[in-house]
Homo-oligomer: A and B are copies of this chain.
Amino acid sequence: MSSLLFAGVGRTVPSKVKLLLSFSSRCAISNSDFLNYPLKTLVLQSPNAGFKLSNVRYKSNTTVGRSATESNGKKVRLVAGAALVAGLVAGLSHFQRAEMKSTVAVHSETGKKDADDILEKCTCFMSEPVTDIQVLQKNKEEMRTKMEMMILQTQAEFCKAVAEVDGGTFQVDRWDRKEGGGGISCVLQDSNIFEKAGVNVSVVFGQLSEEAAQQIRSRGKSLKRKDGKLPFCAMGVSSVIHPKNPHIPTIHFNYRYFEIEEADGSKLWWFGGGTDLTPTYLNKEDAVHFHKTLKDACDKHDRKLYPEFKKWCDNYFFIKHRGERRGVGGIFFDDLDSPTKEDVFDFVRSCAKAVVPCYIPIVKKHLNDSFTSEEKQWQQLRRGRYVEFNLVYDRGTKFGLVTPGSRIESILMSLPLTARWEYMHEPPKGTKEAEMLQVLRNPKDWAQ
Contacts and interface: CB of A to CB of B under 8 A. Distances in A.
A420 interface: yes
Contacts of A417: 420-422
Interface size class of A (residues with CB under 8 A): 20 to 34
Contacts of A135: none
A360 interface: no
A27 interface: no
A223 interface: no
Interface stretch (A267-275, A292-300, A368-376, A408-416): A408-416
Contact of A423 (B189, B387, B388, B420): B189
Contacts of A411: 321
B387 A392 contact: no
Q: How many copies does the complex hold?
A: 2
B392 A401 contact: yes
Contacts of A392: 391-392, 401
Given A391-B388, A392-B391, A419 B422 contact: no
A404 to B, nearest CB: 11
Interface in A322-366: 322
| Interface of chain A: mostly helix, strand, loop or mixed | mixed
A423 B321 contact: no
A187 interface: yes
Nearest to A384: B415
A196 interface: yes
A154 interface: no
A276 interface: no
A98 interface: no
Interface string A407-448: 011011101111111111000000000000000000000000
30 contacts: A171-B424, A187-B424, A189-B422, A196-B421, A198-B423, A320-B401, A321-B401, A321-B406, A321-B408, A321-B411, A322-B408, A380-B418, A384-B415, A387-B387, A387-B391, A388-B412, A391-B391, A392-B392, A392-B401, A409-B423, A409-B424, A412-B421, A413-B423, A415-B421, A416-B421, A417-B420, A417-B421, A418-B418, A418-B421, A419-B421
